[in-house]
Chains A and B, each alone.
Chain A
Amino acid sequence: MGLEKLNNLYRDLLLDYANHPKHAKLLPDASRELTLHNTTCGDSLHLTAVIKDQTIAQIGYQAAGCTISQASASIMSEAVLGKKTSEAQRMTLAFSKMTLGEELSPQEQDLLGDATLLSGVAQFPARIKCATMAWKAIYQLVEECQEDKHE
């Protein structure tokens, strides 16, 4: 084996997301924000969003980290923009399932869209956290938002 297996992980479109990140800018008037760190490697993600009527109306982030974490943040932000918060959470669960190497239903695949580009990460256990950080962030951000509403 050599580097050919890398192609499963770093696909062209994925590198494109990492090199030309979408929404990689903090929102000045965000209604919600959250910072996550990957303590084992020092990667970090600062996520900001405007959530209105349970919809993710705007999203922006600042990320420091590897190609996988950068691409994942870019894909996630593009994928959840304009979606209902509940759908963003369902997407996180489907994404998490995918990174564990479990089979996705056609509906789940549709739900994830370009995020399925990261399915190769399942073969690289040490890199799963890099891919899931962005999704974990949106999930937590939505969760905090819902908790506040219930108060």
Chain B
Amino acid sequence: MDRTWNNCRNDFPLLQEKVNDEPLVYLDNAATTQKPRSVIQASTDFYEHFNANIYRGVHTLSQRATAAYEAVRREAAEFIGAKSSAEIVFTKGTTDSLNMVAFGWALHRLGPGDEIAVSPAEHHSNLVPWQQVAKLTGAHLVYLPLADDGQLDLGLARVLIDDRTKLVALAQVTNVLGTIVPIKEVAKIAHQHGAKIVVDGAQAAGHLPVDVQDLDADFYAFSGHKMLAQTGVGVLYGKYDLLEQLTPFEFGGEMIDSVGLDEATFKEPPLKFEAGTQNISGVLSLGAAINYLLAIGQEEIARREQELTQDLLKQLTGLSGVTVYGPKIGTPRGPIVSFNLDGVHPHDLATALDLQGIAIRAGHHCAQPLLAWLGCSATARASLALYNNEEDLAALVKGVENAKEFFAHGLGKIE
């Protein structure tokens, strides 16, 4: 039935690799996804055919590079439903984007008595910058509680977000439990109190259709490399009037309007935030990734990943000795499943899986407050992408059973 999905796999050269003499089963997509040939080719084409610096040259190559770079800005705007491409700032990634909002916007607008609302499920990159802003401005961090299954408790959010709240910072899809946060509803609550909402879209973009206008997000951050593009490129979306209020924190070439001996004036957003020579090949790879995803269809990808995720949840839940964290089977979630095997530390499990060619993540997943909330110091995490299939899930389940057998009955018994 999934002939086309399996055909997709051929687009990803790395999936043909063997790891520890076993066919690779790549289930660490929340860390970074593999890249389709078209994405790899986009960087290669740039360097082989039109490598030049952007904006600066009158020569043909520079114009070609500039046109290609700006075309991706339009594609990225369409990809997330922005009103205009002027609302798309290219960054190094989600962390960079969130720090731009923290230190270019929040730092200048918050003061003692103000509140920043976050959840305990945030990735450190959507938490530590706000801790720093709070420290520097005297604002308070307020944690919006999670329900027992790890989903944001919207009722309590409604109570805790009030007129003191100036900023709400939440992931759209959380990176350990895969919970989908009702951003649209939270944005409505935030806006009723005059607060802004910044969304960490690192685990959402490329997995779910994203429409920033429908969500009414004030800022939206995502990374290229978690949605098939290369590393070192990402996007900060901001409503244009907010980008106008944002202070750049990198100054230098190409972001200026005119420079005198003591003063300089700056360009309008988004170029104001892109000081120095940008990651041109990265941006072009992002364009290729967006086109690859759109050719398959965002809705189709979300449906396929949801189906596989629910299947994986069912299979892992059915294994004795396995604890699966987060929302129950049947509740929609991002393609992320965290679990533990009784009596086997996740690092030991990850090593045992690695020897069977299966790549998962083990540890605290840059979300220590959430791990504390779960009451464990580490979990194993399998995370899916559009190219994973039923065989990958079966391999993981078998791999976990083998590991369990190995650690329970030890040693020397497995040939």
Contacts and interface: CB of A to CB of B under 8 A. Distances in A.
A84 B344 CA distance: 35
Nearest to B357: A1
A63 to B, nearest CB: 11
Contact of A2 (B355, B362, B412): B355
Interface string A76-112: 0000000000000000000000000000000000000
Instruction: List 6 tightest A-B contacts by C-beta distance, closest first.
Output: A66-B345, A66-B347, A42-B364, A1-B21, A41-B363, A3-B414
Interface of B is mostly: mixed
B364 to A, nearest CB: 4
B348 A68 contact: yes
A66 B350 CA distance: 11
Interface in A41-79: 41-44, 64-68
B377 interface: yes
A42 B20 CA distance: 26
Interface in B320-373: 344-348, 351-352, 354-356, 362-364, 368, 371
Contacts of A6: 351-352, 355, 406, 414
Contact of B410 (A12, A40, A42): A12
Contacts of A11: 411
Contacts of B415: 2, 4
A122 interface: no
B411 to A, nearest CB: 5
B235 to A, nearest CB: 27
Interface residues of A, number: 26
B402 interface: yes
B378 interface: yes
A99 B412 CA distance: 23
A130 B345 CA distance: 12
- Report which residue of A41, A65, A127 has the largest number of chain B beta carbons within 10 angstroms of its beta carbon: A41
B348 A3 contact: no
Interface of A: 1-7, 9-12, 15, 40-44, 64-68, 124, 126-127, 130
10 contacts: A2-B356, A3-B352, A3-B414, A6-B351, A6-B414, A7-B412, A43-B347, A64-B377, A66-B345, A67-B344
Interface in B239-257: none
B22 interface: yes
Nearest to A38: B363
Given A41-B362, A42-B378, A124 B410 contact: no
Contacts of A68: 347-348
Given A3-B402, A127-B347, A42 B411 contact: no
A41 B361 CA distance: 10
A41 B363 CA distance: 5
Nearest to B379: A42
Contacts of B406: 3, 6, 10
B345 A65 contact: yes
A69 to B, nearest CB: 8
A130 B347 CA distance: 9
A40 B362 CA distance: 10
B348 A42 contact: no
